[in-house]
Amino acid sequence: MENEPLIDDAMKSELAALYQTADRHYHGLPHIEAMLALAAEHRHLLDDPEAVEAAIWFHDAVYDSRAKDNEAKSAVLAESKLSGRTNPARLARILAMINATATHQLPPLEDEDAASDAALFLDMDLAILGADPNRFDAYEKAVRREYGWVEEPMWRAGRAAVLTSFLARAHIFHTQSFRDRFEARARENLVRSLQVLQGQPQQSPRQT
């Protein structure tokens, strides 16, 4: 039904339960709440805040650190839950945002407003990279716990490759507002984390 909210309280409770399983050390409810707070802060920049909220709620709904299709499965779940609550075009843009979290590259959306919302959504998901050093370090430890089954040498190599790929981008964040706020700190955090992974001497993190 078009007049129903995309994400009602019952659905939020259902999704919240998925995010509170014991194996979620970072990709849990606090991550969703942090993104929702950023969405509220940037609501004036969003064309369809409710669609972005839906993408936030569903983007990590399926999460298995051993799997490589979590984003696709999360999108399938979103499609099954949201079909009938909105029109196909709006649902498609929600699914595009969810699937884009697999690479954090902008999805191919022709509508400029939808593309702008997707850019902000992806930046919200990566905002933790630009957090203060203590929060970033806690994030890194939490992700490592989610991949506790991976042996240390393989973890170091794989994680270093991920962080290096972000550093190699011209911009980690897609939007100017997030670049201004988080880009410099994110690069400092990633370089410092790489030094740890590669056993190099660390630079002192900026304390401001």
Q: What is the mean pLDDT of residues 166-193?
A: 97
Residue 5: pLDDT band with limits 50, 70, 90:
confident
User: Taking 80 as the threshold, does the pLDDT of residue 191 lie above it?
Assistant: yes
Q: Is 84 left (phi over 0), alpha (psi -120 to 50) or beta?
A: left
User: Is the Cβ–Cβ distance between 173 and 186 less than 8 Å?
Assistant: yes
* pLDDT value at 146 more than 50: yes
CB 18 within 8 A of CB 61: yes
What's the pLDDT band for 68 if we cut at 50, 70, 90?
very high
**Following DSSP, what letter does each residue of 1-12 receive, concatenated?**
-TTS-SS-HHHH
Structure-block tokens of residue 207: 């304390």
Question: Lowest-pLDDT range, 1-10, 11-20, 31-40, 168-177?
Answer: 1-10
What are the backbone dihedrals phi and psi of residue 108, each rounded to the nearest 5 degrees, phi first? -80, 80
114-141 pLDDT, tens per residue?
999 999 999 999 999 999 999 999 999 9
Domain residue limits, the chain = 9-128, 129-197
143 membership: H or E segment, kind and range = helix 133-146
- Residue 205: is its pLDDT beyond 50? no
Sign of the dihedral defined by the CA atoms of residues 64, 14, 39, 56, in that order: positive
Q: Is the pTM of this model over 0.75?
A: yes
Sequential DSSP letters for 95-128: HHHHHHTTTTSPP--SSHHHHHHHHHHHHHHHGG
CA–CA separation, 190 and 130 (whole Å):
9
